[in-house]
Amino acid sequence: MGILTMPATLKKQPCLAAHIEPQLEMTTICPAQPWYVAHTRPRQESIALDNLLAQGFNAYLPMYKTYKKQIAGSEPMFPRYIFLQPANPQQSLATVRSTRGITHLIRFGLKIASLDPSVLKAIQALEKKRNETPEDQLARLRPGRRVRVRDTALDGLEGLVHTVSSKRVTLLMEILGQQRELIISPDKLETLD
């Protein structure tokens, strides 16, 4: 069962609280209903999504396109977090606590944290941009590939990719005759081969 059951990962329920056109653009938000963030059990974001939808909540699980070990796929953009919204003002958040896959709602003190719709739009734009990225660009930073550092104090230095994650790359570089590891953002690297 896939997490993406509509053209977008944002599901709408009767309130029409939020709705996404096939172009993944948020067009309307029910102003009376804020969005909340729930913390999920490890690797149970899709289970939480399915169960929230079954209870009638609007739910959004942003996915991040990845490329690992020469296989393209996707994973949650925010591991262990999911966004939700009651479908109508009478729907209680109390049921979320016992929803399979969810541990608790995020709170600040006694107040349940809410999310501004503009933040959801920004997350959605990032998700769309990443999901439109060609696989060859995602795979450009593989372990063993030669790269050059750019736009930093080490501009022009070359190294070998050692490990890659979505937010940082570890390079093996020879500096002053010794092999060193450098951790750097992927956007500061260009491939040489």
Two domains, one topology: 18-136 and 140-191: no
Q: What share of the chain is helix, strand, coil (3-state, %, to 5)?
A: 20, 35, 45
Query: Could you state, in order of their start, the residue ranges of all structural domains in the chain?
Result: 18-136, 140-191
Asked whether residue 90 carries a pLDDT value surpassing 60, the answer given is yes
- Specify the pairing of strand 102-105 against strand 18-20: unpaired
CATH code: domain 140-191 is 2.30.30.30
Q: Which of 44-58, 129-143, 167-181 has the highest mean pLDDT?
A: 44-58
Class of domain 18-136: alpha beta
Asked whether residue 5 carries a pLDDT value surpassing 60, the answer given is no
